[in-house]
Amino acid sequence: MSGLHPAQPFPEAAREQVNQPQLRANLRKVTHTIREKRLRATQELPHWEELRQLGEATKDASLADLSNRLLTLEASVKARGGQVHWARDAAEAREIVTRIALAHQVQELIKVKSITSDEIELNKALDAHGVHAIETDLAELIVQLSNDTPSHILVPAIHRNRAEIQALFNAELPGEGHLSDDPAELAGAARRYLRHKFLTTKMAVSGGNFAIAKTGTVCVVESEGNGRMCLTLPEVLVSIMGIEKVLDRFEDISVFMELLPRSSTAERMNPYTSFWSGVTPGDGPQEFHLILLDNGRTDVLADDFGRQTLRCIRCSACLNVCPVYERAGGHAYGSVYPGPIGAILTPQLLGMHDQNANTLPGASSLCGACFDACPVRINIPQVLIYLRGEAAQHKGPTLEALAMHGMRLAMSEGWRFEGAVRLARFGQGPLVHNGKITALPGLLGGWTQSRDLNPFPPQSFREWWRQRGQGQTPEVDAAPPQAVQ
Amino acid sequence: MKVDLFLTCINDAMFPRTGQATVRLLERLGHTVNFNMRQTCCGQMHLNTGYRSDALHLVRKFVNDFRDAEVIVAPSGSCVAMIRELAPEAAHWEGDNELRREVQALAPRLYELSEFLVGKLRVTDVGAYYPHKVTYHPTCHAMRMLRVGDAPLKLLQQVRGMTLLELAGADECCGFGGTFSVKNPDVSAAMLADKTRHILETGAEACTAGDNSCLMHIGGGLHRLRSGARTIHLAGILASTEGEVFA
């Protein structure tokens, strides 16, 4: 996996993940725990549904007036002593950060957890110019030290266990002696390592959860306090933010301060919320750059139905309730955006012609749990269905398309359907063994991989109904020889 | 009341007993059942797999077939959800706003079976007798799209002779998801493994639900495991009496 680009289709990637016991056990435990906690945190508010609607409306208002709000944001940030950069794509954004780092001649910089920076594959680009980016979120640090990639938006190292982290820290954190697998001891070692970096590093890179157009304020919401350190101690701060994160007024943020922590960590309030507006002389970073990233977002915005995807506030509630994410894990999605939101965001950002990414809308049983959990009411199941349609149009005439079209023709009249069922009943003969079908060919082979199938019964309902109408079967047959649903 | 039965294509071809049970049940409750022989499919599989134009042809056909119906009842949560919730959106995506209006006009007359019995007819005791240990799986589309709530449970609780066993993780998807089950067979099987494990842990002889597509998936898994447990559509239980057993 690199950035947004999946290296293989989802079904293949997922196949490798579902049989990993550690992954399955971790995911089951974490997702089930957070599901229950989130329900408690949201159900205690009688007006939760109204808050969701307000969150949806607030985001939609921003998306409807995005260009004006972005220009206002740019003017406000500049008026308060910040600099604003526009990045069309990942390459432009990387180039801007690299240029700033090289101008200040830094060899190291510290980072607040930012998926947007992972989206543009920033760390690798900085490395190529001799600048080492240090992740300061504990889980991101674990992922970075093990040359791994995050598998969850909020809990990036969800796929790791304590023993693995012990071995990793003993190998990678200098001057700590031998660490046990005690979580407090491991966290303490990371804390000492990071504290030193916070106090000695000149430049920081962050993302941004929200930005306020009218005041030029950027906001980062976090739990560990590492963000507060990065945002206040260094001399130079660069924040990279997707263009969809802008809000109009300061008051607009209040609804998200309710929606985000409760949906994300199931907390009433998150531990650290940092706001800053440009540069304040003598306090905090004295040079501030805001990079506004497009990277496919205006294409998403241009799509009347797919647009709602841009409401996302990256809470990860949809991941935690998703039965597919729970079994496949984040890496199967092949993108920095995993889970249901990733399944609709990644292919839209890349374009539906991407043959790996366009399998992502298929990574769902359409159970609908994600829509119920989404704090900004993104109708993820409907967007998934919509995108499957867009993807089918980019695949051309496949066997699947032919089969679907054939079935539609067979279903175009009742009598045609009846004939097709008769034909299938006749044709299934060689497949039926001891009253069941246990192996199917071709596209349908996936079914019999783990399930048996009842064959077509000798009489369809409509055949029975016709007989009944003709008085041949005045009553329903009682107690059939073979129990059928 | 004159009730038009929308049986759904899969029930017609593969689960005719569910259709017979639905007819039996509605007639026993004093209603007249009509089965329009022109009906076929709601287009759900086509739409959910990405074949919008094929799907909308079938939605158009559904609207034409059932335009004059007073009340339409289907023993399938997902097919009802397709027509009521998805079809209007899909018509809009394709710019067919006339179809959208027509399907929206028809939607309030279309009911899932348990919804019809409990919500419309206000009946929970349908006079059923089914002397078995059964657990109930709420299907995703009935639960999260149609919001049938506990209507199926209210019906099952009144069935005489039956022991209703609570299913752990009941609100989790069984992993069917239509073509998801063949296009993502590994994840689907992993979801099914948890569902069948929970079902077997109840000690039930059968798992019931309001949708035969989900039951085909769960039943196929239970049979592959040689578990001895099986599946039965809600209509089959509700239609069964002391003199007449539907499954």
Question: What strand order describes the sheet that includes B71-74?
Answer: B32-34, B2-5, B71-74, B110-112
- The residue among A121, A163, A165 whose CA lies nearest residue A143 is A165
Cβ contact (<8 Å) for B173 and A367? yes
Please give the residue of chain A at the shortest CA–CA distance from B213: A485
Cβ contact (<8 Å) for B14 and A479? no
Q: What is the mean pLDDT of each run of 10 residues along chain A (485 residues)?
A: 90 95 91 95 97 98 98 98 98 98 97 96 97 95 90 85 91 88 93 94 98 98 95 97 98 97 95 96 96 98 97 97 97 97 98 95 98 98 97 87 94 96 92 92 90 95 93 51 39
The bridge status of strand A287-293 relative to strand A83-87 is: parallel
Which residues, listed in sequence order, are joined to residue B4 by a DSSP beta bridge?
B34, B72
Q: What are the tokens at A152?
A: 């969850």
- The residue among B119, B25, B110 whose CA lies nearest residue B65 is B110
Of A324, A417, A461, the CB nearest to B16: A461
Tell how far CA A135 is from the center of its chain. 20
A327 in contact with B, Cβ within 8 Å: yes
Which residue, among B187, B205, B217, B246, would best test binding to A if mutated, counting the most A CBs under 10 Å from its CB?
B187
Contact status, residue B119 vs residue B111, Cβ threshold 8 Å: yes
Of B86, B172, B181, the CB nearest to A385: B86
Tell how far CA B172 is from the center of its chain. 16
Q: What are the tokens at A197?
A: 């970096």
* A445 contacts on B by Cβ (under 8 Å): 182
d(CA A295, CA A217) in angstroms, rounded, equals 22
User: What mean pLDDT is predicted for residues B94-114?
Assistant: 97
Cβ contact (<8 Å) for B221 and A451? yes
Longest dimension (CA), chain A: 95
Which residues, listed in sequence order, are joined to residue B165 by a DSSP beta bridge?
B135
Contact status, residue A27 vs residue A145, Cβ threshold 8 Å: no
Instruction: Tell me phi and psi for residue A313, to 5 degrees.
Output: -110, 15
CA angle A388, A390, A393 (to 5 degrees): 110
The upper half-sphere exposure of residue A175, i.e. CA atoms within 13 Å in the direction of its Cβ, equals 5
Model's pTM, two decimal places? 0.95
Give the containing element (helix H, strand E) for A236. strand A236-242
d(CA A207, CA A222) in angstroms, rounded, equals 11
Domains of chain A from N-terminus onward: 43-298 (3.40.50.10420), 399-469 (no CATH)
Q: Å from B120 to nearest chain A CA?
A: 25
User: What mean pLDDT is predicted for residues B151-175?
Assistant: 97
CB pairs under 8 A between A and B: 231
* B36 contacts on A by Cβ (under 8 Å): 414
Cβ contact (<8 Å) for B47 and A385? yes
- The reported pLDDT for the residue numbered A155 is 83
Please give the residue of chain B at the shortest CA–CA distance from A372: B144
Which residue, among A358, A411, A462, A485, would best test binding to B if mutated, counting the most B CBs under 10 Å from its CB?
A485
Contact status, residue A219 vs residue A253, Cβ threshold 8 Å: yes
d(CA B165, CA A264) in angstroms, rounded, equals 34
d(CA B226, CA B220) in angstroms, rounded, equals 10
* B187 contacts on A by Cβ (under 8 Å): 11, 14, 18, 324, 327-328, 363
d(CA A358, CA A4) in angstroms, rounded, equals 12
User: What mean pLDDT is predicted for residues B121-126?
Assistant: 97
A365 in contact with B, Cβ within 8 Å: yes
Cβ contact (<8 Å) for A10 and B184? yes
Cα→Cα distances B83→A59, B11, B28, B48, B124, Å: 29, 17, 27, 12, 25
Cβ contact (<8 Å) for B140 and A476? no
Give the containing element (helix H, strand E) for A26. helix A21-43
Domains of chain B from N-terminus onward: 2-120 (3.40.50), 133-239 (3.40.50)
Cβ contact (<8 Å) for B220 and A371? no
**Strand, coil or helix: B76:** coil
* DSSP strands (E only) in A27-118: 83-87, 108-111
Cβ contact (<8 Å) for A404 and B244? no
* A452 contacts on B by Cβ (under 8 Å): 220, 223-224
* B230 contacts on A by Cβ (under 8 Å): 483
- The reported pLDDT for the residue numbered A481 is 39
Of B12, B43, B185, the CB nearest to A462: B12
A11 in contact with B, Cβ within 8 Å: yes
Cβ contact (<8 Å) for A464 and B19? yes
Which residues, listed in sequence order, are joined to residue A83 by a DSSP beta bridge?
A289
Longest dimension (CA), chain B: 53
Please give the residue of chain A at the shortest CA–CA distance from B225: A451
d(CA A373, CA A375) in angstroms, rounded, equals 6
- The reported pLDDT for the residue numbered A1 is 52
Within 389-428 of A, beta carbons closer than 8 Å to B belong to: 389-392, 400-401, 404-405, 407-408, 411-415, 417, 421, 424
Cβ contact (<8 Å) for B219 and A477? no
Q: Å from A380 to nearest chain B CA?
A: 13
Cα→Cα distances B46→A4, A453, B185, B203, Å: 29, 21, 19, 37
- The reported pLDDT for the residue numbered A472 is 61
Contact status, residue A366 vs residue B178, Cβ threshold 8 Å: yes
CA angle A209, A343, B138 (to 5 degrees): 105
- The reported pLDDT for the residue numbered B7 is 98
Cβ contact (<8 Å) for A447 and B236? no
The single-letter DSSP state of residue B115 is I
Give the containing element (helix H, strand E) for A437. strand A436-437
Cβ contact (<8 Å) for A392 and B144? no
Of A15, A392, A451, the CB nearest to B220: A451
Residues whose CB is less than 8 angstroms from the CB of residue A30 and which lie 6 or more positions away in sequence, other chains included: A155, A158, A320
- The residue among A317, A262, A321, A316 whose CA lies nearest residue A32 is A321
- The reported pLDDT for the residue numbered A479 is 43
